[in-house]
Structure 1
Amino acid sequence: MTVPLQNTAALQNADRPTVSIATYPDYPQAQRAVDYLSDNGFPVEHTAIVGTGLRLVEQVTGRLTVGRAALAGAGTGAWFGLFIGVLLGLFSDSNWFAVVLTALIVGALWGAAFGAIAHAMTGGRRDFSSRSYLAAEQYGVTVDAEHGEVARNLLGRLAMTL
């Protein structure tokens, strides 16, 4: 499956040779380096931050019970009900506040029911909540080869100020 790239500048830069000018143990340091290059007039459109050694981390945030699933579903349903209520309220001759409040309550009730049912149907195979993120072992700053020397010199000045 091919995923189309949205950034045409990235497509143009993909064919150019690049050089690594620095590596950092975390993303904020790499971001700080690119920001420093930008602050000093470097054409940062020729720069990339490349994470290597990627891994998926799933941080478990707590136990998920039918009650918690229903509560989360109620919250989601309430937001959806609020949205529908505002839309209906705009085009209704009835009391706007009553329409919005009714839609919010109905949305919360349906959301709670669907949340509880969906969790119960898992049969206990996933009784925890979590959030996932990608983490890299290190982050490299690369630039197009023709700009490598200028970027290295600028980052050398940054290293001297730290």
Structure 2
Amino acid sequence: MTAAFTPVNGLPTMPEGWPIGSYDNYKEAQRAVDHLADNEFPVQDVTIVGVEPMVVERVSARLTWGRVLTTGAASGAWFGLFVGLLLSLFSATGGLAPILLGIGSGLVFGLAWSAIQYGATRGQRDFISHSQLVARRYDVLCKPRNAELGRTLLTSLSPTAS
């Protein structure tokens, strides 16, 4: 990272440079910068800027009591196994009893905790989703000293078949 792109006092700064390419998705913008790097272009002068950012929430599954309780029991059992293994390592007798006790306790607490959490929502969020920050387009900017060379190199980059 060069001094030109280091944030002032750790605060975010606006990107600098002239546009040398614009792409519909991040993969294409990344491919363009990789093409510049392959041609020994000074990529430290380049910035990829996502324009018109938006948060996209993709719904992946419906939540049911069965799914919630199964997941809670499983995660509780895994945590209980971990605690049980630690207890068996540091106990004088060792054996299987601390491990089984840990798994059983973890399963019960995981089941109870997930039931309490899901019950508290009262059906207002009966789905699993994953959020992602994306942009409508991605511009590749370059410091003015190398912008023309960057544009020239990117014109030789063939478009990808999406």
User: How would you bin the TM-score normalised by the shorter chain?
Assistant: 0.7 to 0.9
Change (3 A) 1:137 1:126: same
Q: 1:24 corresponds to which residue?
A: 23
Write out per-residue CA displacement over residues 8-29 of structure 1, whole angstroms, 9 at most, x where no aligned residue.
9542694774111111111111
2:111 is paired with a residue whose SS is helix
Tell me the amino acid that sits aligned with residue 117 of structure 2. Answer: A
- The structural deviation recorded for 1:71 is 1.9
Q: TM-score, normalised by structure 2?
A: 0.76
Q: 1:107 corresponds to which residue?
A: 106
**Deviating more after overlay: 111-120 vs 89-98:** 89-98
Maintained 8 Å contact 2:16/2:141: no
Q: 1:47 corresponds to which residue?
A: 46
Q: Which consecutive residues of structure 2, in runs of 5 or more, have no partner in the other structure?
A: none
CA RMSD of aligned residues (A): 3.0
Identity percentage of aligned residues: 42
Maintained 8 Å contact 2:57/2:130: yes
- The structural deviation recorded for 1:146 is 2.1
Change (3 A) 1:161 1:116: closer
- The structural deviation recorded for 1:119 is 0.3
- What does 1:118-129 correspond to in 2, within 5 Å? 118-129=117-128
Tell me the amino acid that sits aligned with residue 70 of structure 1. Answer: L
1:155 partnered with 2:154: yes
Change (3 A) 1:121 1:14: closer
2:142 is paired with a residue whose SS is strand
**Deviating more after overlay: 9-18 vs 149-158:** 9-18
Maintained 8 Å contact 1:19/1:145: yes
Write out per-residue CA displacement over residues 39-62 of structure 1, whole angstroms, 9 at most, x where no aligned residue.
222232322211112222222222
CA distance in 2 between partners of 1:42 and 1:92 (Å): 62
1:11 partnered with 2:7: yes
Q: TM-score, normalised by structure 1?
A: 0.76
User: How many pairs are equivalent?
Assistant: 155
Write out per-residue CA displacement over residues 126-147 of structure 1, whole angstroms, 9 at most, x where no aligned residue.
1222222122211111122222
Write out per-residue CA displacement over residues 135-162 of structure 1, whole angstroms, 9 at most, x where no aligned residue.
2211111122222122212212223899
